[in-house]
Structures are given as structure tokens and as C-alpha cells.
A and B are shown apart, each in its own frame.
Chain A
Amino acid sequence: MAHFAKPAEGSWTEHYPELGTAPVSYEDSISPEHYERERDAIFRKTWLNVGRVEQLPRVGSYFTRELHAARTSVIVVKDKDGTVRAFHNICRHRGNKLVWNDFPGVEVEGTCRQFTCKYHGWRYDLSGDLTFVQQEEEFFDLDKADFGLVPVQAEVWEGFIFVNLDPENTTSAKDYLGKIGAGIEGYPFGEMTEVYKYRATVGANWKLFIDAFAEFYHAPVLHAKQAVADESKKLSGYGYEALHYEIDGPHSMVSSWGGMSPPKDESMVKPIERVLRSGLFGPWDRPIDVGELPAMINPAKSKVWGVDSYVLFPNFMLLVWAPGWYLTYHYWPTAYNEHIFEGALYFVPPKNASERLAQELAAVTFKEYALQDGNTLEATQTMIESRAVTEFPLNDQEVLLRHLHKTARDYVAADGETAVDLAGAR
């Protein structure tokens, strides 16, 4: 039973004919060789979101980001003129990691006037220029101008800080994000500065966890025990259909309904939700008037719109919720079958305890759902690795998964001289 209109081709998937409709292989998610090639072809070539401008409140504010998949660590800093800069986190003298505290692999943040290497005391200013060399006279014709930090391209888009590790890249982050990025510009992300951030190590390929958040076909089933019984029964009977899907280049989005904020029938939600006026879809009372939404937010202009999920390739998801808050997901691969997942909720700062409690309930609810999703993924990874089944049918509500895996395979294929043997790459 169709509740929402599909494109003229009859399905979302056939609207993008390059995707095909055949069962797909997940070899790209279980092959160590494919992952090694993704590291260079994807993570060292594309724009990666590493944070928000609010993390750099003043001149000299910095944070480091461990980019295992891209085989490096970067320093992101606000320079004296307010520019956000990024550098490889390596001292030019003998290669020590420049910025870290007790544990070299742990990300750090702070504010400083310059970066000083722990090893021999070389110093670099906020622009990356080498300003001091210990016992400089002992070196041979050393010109400090030749030994600045190695820069990494950095760009701020809508307050999101992106880096690109490819020195030859000539596409701006804004252009890279294409039609989908342009269609969310103008949303008041900068007003939503109250942050709850969670991190988990997930024993699954990074793309498999994106899959879990890029389709809602699973929601009425996997999360059935989260809702009160009557609501749960209603949801699973209804199934799931999106309002809209959009694919542009490597990026994609799904627009979803969601009448849960506030719910039509309050008896269908948990008692605590009724008192705190909040739940999975966020606080029921909208904190600000966001005005007219940009074109790619609720693109179907649906009255029952609840949340839009954007998959910004490769590993950044942005979810904009109707009640006026947003979520980010990042998937940082550490192996072909493991990644670090980060989920962060961003709200307009609460004006009082009631608003704070409503946000707390939304944040705790998010965590509980994500725990179910993450645990399911580890089971998926191990079973796909058995290769007992090698082709999987994807339905029309899973069109973004089809696109994501194809995009990853295409990047790898375009980057390598020899094609990887991928059963599903057709």
C-alpha cells in the first residue's frame, strides 16, 4: 500500500537507472584489500568533516583529529586572522607527532599561542610557520621558511569544518557537496550550540553502519521494544515509506515523515515523554522559528515531515529534525571490519530546566536506539564475512544503500589501475 508518491519510473531506485535493481554484493564491506584501497581512493581524496566552528571559539583554539583511514592525524586551528587552518600533525624535524598529551593516539583540544614539539622544542605559529629551532646554529644551512607545518586544505561550510588531504584537489568543499549541500545552506545550524556527543567502537565496516541509518525500513521492527505496545503494533503494521529520496553525485538524502513530535495521541507515548514533552524526534516545543526551510530540507513540502537524513560522502551524516535541532553521525574506519562511530545532538541552548530536561530525554533516547543499531551491525558483519550468502536483495526504501556501496566501489575503481574483483560491481 503506497502512502506517498514515487517518481514516474515507478520506484526511487529506477529513477536512478545507474543503480540497477539486482541483488548486491557486500564484498566491499568484508574485503581487507578493498578497505586498504578505500583509504587512499576515498579518505585521502574527498572532503572530510572534522568538526564545527564552535569548537574553535577564539584565536589559538585548536583540536586534533585522528584520521586512521587516511593514515594521518591533523591539527585544526583558528589563526590570528580568524581563518580556520589545518596541518598534518607532524614535526618537520624528525617526525614526532606534534600535538598530543599523554597518549599519542588520543585526540586533544585546547588554546595556545604556538605549537611546541615535545621532543626537541621546535615551535610553529598558528599559521604553521616554523618560528624557533633549538640550537639552530648546530644545523646545516637550515632555513626556517622551508620547514613550516605541512598544510592540509581546510574549508568551512555552514559552520562545518572540512579538510581534504589531497594536495592536488581543486574542488571546493561547497562544490563537492553539490546540489544537496547547496539545498541545506541557510539552515540556522549556528544557533544550535548545545551539544551532546557520544562515541562507540563498532565491530563493523563503516558503510554497514551508514546503511543502518540511511534506511528506516528497519525502524518499526528492530526498535519495536522501544515504544509502548499499541504504538509499536501500529508502526509495524504501517511499515515504512519515505517522503522523498534524492541522489546527487556521491551524496544522497532521505526525507521521512514523523508525527511523534508532538504525537497526535499522547497515550501512545511513554509517561516520561508526556511530562517532559520530548522523545526520539526531539523536544515537542520548537525553540526558535527557523523560518522558510532551504529547498533540500523537506523537499516534498510534506505536512507530516519529521526528519531529513543526508549522507555526505564518505562518512558524514547530517539529520535535520522538524522540531528544530540536528544530529551528526561520523564513521571513522579503523579496519575493514571496525570503525569509531560518533553521534552528536545539537540543540538551541535551553532557556530553563524544562527545556534542558526535554533535550536530555532526546539525547538518552538517541543513545538507546544507537546501541541497538550498533549491536545488530556486529552480527551482520560476522555473518556477511562467512560468505554463506553473497548477494542481497535491496528494496526501494534501501536505495541509498545501493548508492553508497556503488559510490565506494566507483571511487576505488577510478583510483586503481587494476580493478578489484568485486562480484557486485556492475
Chain B
Amino acid sequence: MTSIFPAAFVDLEPFAEWSLETEGERYDKRLTSSMDEMQAFYDAAMPHLEAAKDHLDALDLAALPEAETRLLWLLYSLVNVSFPVEVWRQPRVPDSGAANMDAIVQPAV
């Protein structure tokens, strides 16, 4: 099976749609996903987090190959969904109503 991720992380292929480059895209994806969808992504990705960190740490962060970059973007989404999955049980932070906040500067990688 071909994957957009490094070979060791082929299990994450079903969740490729969570590999998103910008914070805005990741946040939108979270708000438009159900708790079941986020739980499934979290349950699949969380067990790979340590290994993924080790794999990426062996490489130059400023010059990651495309597959590794895709994996890192997926991990950023894992960070983003960890809040609803681990604590809130809802996509939005509690008591935030329609409040919105845009990321206007974010790291290049």
C-alpha cells in the first residue's frame, strides 16, 4: 500500500485528510468533525506519537522530506484534537460561544 506518510506510519493513511498545513485548516477541520471522527483519529495516531517523534527527530527539521512533512502536519492535527478528545468531549472549547481567533503568523514548518 502506498502512503503519503513515511513507510513506518502507513497505518495512518486512513487519516490522511488530517494532514493539513495551516493552523486555520486544522482548526476548521476540528470544528466540522464529530467526536466519533476525532476519537477514531486520536485512537489511531496517539500510539504512534512517540515513534513519530523519534523518526522526525533524526532528521533536519528545516529540510524534512515531503512524507515526513505530511506526518508532522498530521501530528499538529493530533495536538489540535487532543483537547476535545481528552477533556471537553465537544469540538469547541467550552464557554467560547462564537468567539474566533485567527492565526496570522505561524512557523514556516
Contacts and interface: CB of A to CB of B under 8 A. Distances in A.
A351 B58 CA distance: 11
Given A196-B103, A199-B104, A272 B78 contact: yes
B95 interface: yes
B76 interface: yes
A199 B101 CA distance: 6
A372 B95 contact: yes
A200 B87 contact: no
Given A225-B87, A225-B88, A354-B57, A276 B79 contact: yes
A375 B56 contact: no
B109 interface: yes
Given A200-B99, A361-B79, A353 B56 contact: yes
Nearest to B103: A198
A142 interface: no
Contacts of B98: 375
B105 A344 contact: yes
Contact of A275 (B49, B76, B80): B49
A356 B79 contact: no
B86 interface: yes
A217 to B, nearest CB: 17
B72 interface: yes
Given A196-B103, A353-B72, A368-B93, A271 B87 contact: no
Contacts of B97: 375, 378
A198 B86 contact: no
Nearest to A361: B79
A357 B101 contact: no
B94 to A, nearest CB: 5
Nearest to A368: B93
B106 interface: yes
Given A199-B104, A344-B105, A364-B79, A226 B87 contact: yes
* Top 8 closest pairs, chain A to chain B, by CB: A353-B56, A197-B105, A272-B82, A375-B99, A200-B101, A371-B96, A368-B93, A352-B57
